[in-house]
Chains A and B, each alone.
Chain A
Amino acid sequence: MMRNDSPDPEMERRLRDHFVEEAQDLQAPDDLWDRLESRLGEQQAPRFALLRGALSWTAERPGLAAAAAAVLVVAIGVTVWGLPGQDPALDDADEAATTAASTTTTTATTTTSSVGTTTTADSDSTTTTTQLAVVADDDASEDDAAGDATAETTQSSARVVDTPSTTQATEPATTPTTTPPSVATPAPTPAPPVVTPPAPRADSGSSGTSDDAAMDDSDGMSIADDGMESDGMADGDYDDPMDDGMDADGMEDGMDAPAAAPSPPAESEEPAVRQPPPATTFQDYERTGFVETSVDAVSTFSLDADRTSYFLALNWARNGYTVEPDSVRAEEWINAFDYSYAHPTDDRSFAITGDVVRHPLDADLHLTRIAFQAPEFRDETPLNVTLVLDASGSMAAGNRVAIARTAAEAIRGSLGPDDRIAVVHFTTAVIDQYTVEHSAPGDEDVVWSIGRLNAHDSTNVQAGLDLGVELADAARRERPDAFNYIILMSDGVANVDATDPFAILESAEDTDSRNPLRLITIGVGIENYNDYLLEQLAQHGNGWYRYLDDTEQARETFSRENWLALSTPFADQTRAQVTWDPSVVRSWRIVGYENRVTPDHTFTQDRKEFAELPAGTATTVFYELELHEGAGIPRRFGNVEVRWVEPASGESRSQTTAVTDLAGVSFDGRGDLLRLGAIVGLAADRYSRLSTQVEGQEVDAASVRADLETLRGELDALSSRLGSTEAYRDFAFLLDALIEAAEALAPASGYSR
């Protein structure tokens, strides 16, 4: 094998000459600016005016590493499944946002607390009121005592949830004032901790898998290369350990323009770099930034009960892959854990809790946690379930078919005698002979069809869903009182007919909004996986999205007990709006929820893209807050209002609560589960900044790594009380993988801290 090959100056010269000759043909169109300008006019006019305030705010802070960044406002203006087109014009205030790497702010020190509650009535909706749980601690010692008291009982509470917890209060929901964090009752399902070693699994990708082959084909990568790349090195690697053996000496001077760049360090000095899984598709969303309350005091977002992003990342890390920063949705990481919130006292309201604590990463900031706990109840409404099963070739990889078949069978087995189930298999088209129309769950044709699931040709999600919707619609007409679920199990790798989620939804349009078809998407697979398609189908299809990484998880997720909860809808089109008090909060930033943030004016509208929450689910949101100096004690930080549509009655409902708490309580002065959620959310939020898809954004990898290491230290502090739980161990393992990847995924160099 040749090593230290010389560069090829003659070939280089030929190429340069060639491009000079071709230059005339590669000229940009003369009128490119004219077309571009019209697009600039559509999008950009208000931004700079609004940013002036934000910029002046950052200008006062010379230490800020980053300036303004726009809050993402989801503005997908399409009509699918009855979804009203969303106004593409963003709320002015929502566009003005600033991103601050560090801020100079006030430091609040307070030691008293109070509870505040306000209620507003919605003119056209029923209004209920819940008192905000406020936990305030007079001093740290009291907290420590509370923490100690919690220690023994919370060990099994920090578990990852796939179903609503049946546990009652751990962290207080409606406890007035000076009560320290209440103690958790043990969670009822303390499965013995199972440490999953980071060992390769069946679906793990090494070169030579069918996934790899599929990727190579689609990318047209079939080069006859030298022996180097055929030595098991996938082309397109982020890192190639053979590189420097070949290049370091001979290539450097000849290939580089003179003094164009410093010599790279020898690769042997760099850590081994894991790779992201190949052929995966994600949507990166623009980071949210800090917003001055003087510019915009209102934050509106859709709630989110999904947790796929977390399990996908965990599965990748276990299989030796780098976690794709684009795939990280902090809200789904936060919501993957069970915080054992108190449940509401009736079946028609949320229990809303709010807590404020000092920020673990920045002494000048605070964190607020707001949680929405849905009630746990059973509903006797029968179900019409339509399974739409992906039987395409990509499903042959690893154990995807087995997972999907297991999940399908588990769902069938969890249905009651009054429920009905249909089965559709699709590849390039629907496999007609396997289609079973709605039948009793015990029908032998249903059992037979599920058992026939296997992997065949191409993937036509559209064809599968078209028939699924047709069957479900027929079942709905026949049994109008039933809830209707369409459950798509797939790796999302659509490649025949429509491959865009909105085009697929438009094709399989649900025209009846009174009793909607609820599209649940179940993702399977590691490589060659389209997260974007599955997430968007569920978000805009009135449903939710789960990820299954093995057959055991498939059985557990859809066990009868879990299925009964998951299949009982509590709230449709659920969104929340937080209004901060400008006299207390100087600026705010929502952690995660980038593709759930929505213009403020949409809050009063019932929209399909807002979240559908099964009974018993909890949604948690964290905000980073910069407070004004010298604000009064205790503090009312603002109000939070949640709105939703009650599935059974179709009635619009709302509920409002004041966010009132102490400021200045140290991070380790709060309950373990609040701290765990904050660590999880911030780790996901910081890691997602490493995305290389965020155009124009300079990535400060060193800062991200430092934050992750600080969070690792905070997690260690919880180990004595939570360390024996499976969820804690999984997350600790994942966090270590993020730290390892933080530098490797960042752009090579050239960016300062």
Chain B
Amino acid sequence: MTDDEAVRRCQEGDREAFRHLVEAYKSPMYGTALLMTGNPALAEEHVQDALLNAWRGIRRFQRGRPVKPWLMRILVNAVVSQQRRRSFTTVSLDESLPVGAPGDDTETVENRQVLREALSQLSPEHREVVVLRYFADLSVAEVARSTGVREGTVKSRLHRALRQMRELLEQSGVMEVAGNDA
């Protein structure tokens, strides 16, 4: 079933078609929420809330448009509005994710740790665009639509986030110091 077909059937009230969309996109949504919040329980709550809202709003969804950015936008709204409403403390990603499977190469595990640490040190706005761009694999335009800011702002945030992460990785020796000041 294509996404478009699933949307059409959802708009007629077909719950199985909605399940098709949920299964297709639940992991990128959950991963995004987890990376944004650092809290598995909260991440699932956000994903569920977002999917409920999507089901409620799918009648208004214009067929032919890509589904994933739409779902991501709903998800980001859910996460951000919750962050605005609560005094929000970000759980360290180190605490919430398992560190490597048995038998993993030690150096890889260390690198992953450093990258997680670098991600967790980004501001929420910067982490949000990094996750949507490189984990959820949205285009800059789609990230802009998902977060409600302009494309120029997304690019600026990505640029600064990457620079900050590079600096952290360089300091920790995971990346070689670049030959210029980029």
Inter-chain contact B26/A32, CB cutoff 8 Å: yes
In the complex, chain A residues whose CB is within 8 Å of the CB of B6:
none
Nearest neighbor of B58 in chain A, beta-carbon distance: A696
Inter-chain contact A255/B155, CB cutoff 8 Å: yes
Enumerate B114-150 residues with CB–CB distance to A below 8 Å.
115, 121-126, 130, 134-135, 139-142, 144-145, 148-150
Inter-chain contact A747/B153, CB cutoff 8 Å: no
| Contact of B50 with A by CB under 8 A | yes
Inter-chain contact B23/A33, CB cutoff 8 Å: yes
In the complex, chain B residues whose CB is within 8 Å of the CB of A715:
none
Nearest neighbor of A233 in chain B, beta-carbon distance: B156
Nearest neighbor of B62 in chain A, beta-carbon distance: A698
**Interface of B, helix, strand, loop or mixed by DSSP:** helix
| Contact of A506 with B by CB under 8 A | no
| Contact of A235 with B by CB under 8 A | yes
| Contact of A7 with B by CB under 8 A | yes
Contact with B77, one of A225, A246, A693 (Cβ below 8 angstroms): A693
Q: How many A-B residue pairs have CB under 8 A?
A: 236
Inter-chain contact B140/A36, CB cutoff 8 Å: no
Inter-chain contact B48/A748, CB cutoff 8 Å: no
Give CA–CA (A21, B90) in the complex, Å.
Answer: 22
- Given the known interface contacts A28-B26, A36-B22, the answer about A229 and B160 at a Cβ–Cβ threshold of 8 Å is yes
| Contact of B17 with A by CB under 8 A | no
Enumerate B26-73 residues with CB–CB distance to A below 8 Å.
26-27, 29-31, 34-35, 44, 47-48, 50-62, 70, 73
Nearest neighbor of A262 in chain B, beta-carbon distance: B141
In the complex, chain B residues whose CB is within 8 Å of the CB of A221:
123-125
Give the residue among A55, A225, A256 with the most B Cβ atoms within 10 A: A256
| Contact of A444 with B by CB under 8 A | no
| Contact of A228 with B by CB under 8 A | yes
| Contact of A714 with B by CB under 8 A | no
Inter-chain contact B134/A16, CB cutoff 8 Å: yes
- Given the known interface contacts A5-B182, A32-B30, A242-B156, the answer about A696 and B98 at a Cβ–Cβ threshold of 8 Å is no
In the complex, chain B residues whose CB is within 8 Å of the CB of A8:
162-163, 166, 182
Give CA–CA (A224, B50) in the complex, Å.
Answer: 33
Q: Mark A88-118, 1 if CB is under 8 A from B, else 0.
A: 0000000000000000000000000000000
Interface size on A, residues (CB 8 A): 89
| Contact of A197 with B by CB under 8 A | no
Enumerate A57-76 residues with CB–CB distance to B below 8 Å.
66-70
Contact with A27, one of B31, B85, B125, B140 (Cβ below 8 angstroms): B31
- Given the known interface contacts A695-B77, A696-B74, the answer about A243 and B152 at a Cβ–Cβ threshold of 8 Å is yes
In the complex, chain A residues whose CB is within 8 Å of the CB of B47:
28, 32
| Contact of A40 with B by CB under 8 A | yes
Give CA–CA (A262, B153) in the complex, Å.
Answer: 15
Contact with B165, one of A11, A239, A246, A260 (Cβ below 8 angstroms): A11
Give CA–CA (A35, B26) in the complex, Å.
Answer: 13
Nearest neighbor of B29 in chain A, beta-carbon distance: A28
Enumerate A14-42 residues with CB–CB distance to B below 8 Å.
14-16, 18-19, 21-29, 32-33, 35-37, 39-40
* Given A11-B169, A18-B111, A35-B48; 12 other pairs, CB 8 A cutoff: A32-B26, A37-B15, A67-B60, A219-B88, A264-B150, A499-B86, A695-B77, A697-B60, A747-B144, A748-B150, A750-B141, A750-B145
Q: List 17 A-B contacts (CB under 8 A).
A: A14-B175, A26-B135, A28-B30, A28-B31, A28-B44, A32-B26, A40-B18, A240-B152, A243-B150, A248-B152, A251-B158, A256-B140, A261-B139, A284-B81, A695-B50, A695-B57, A747-B145
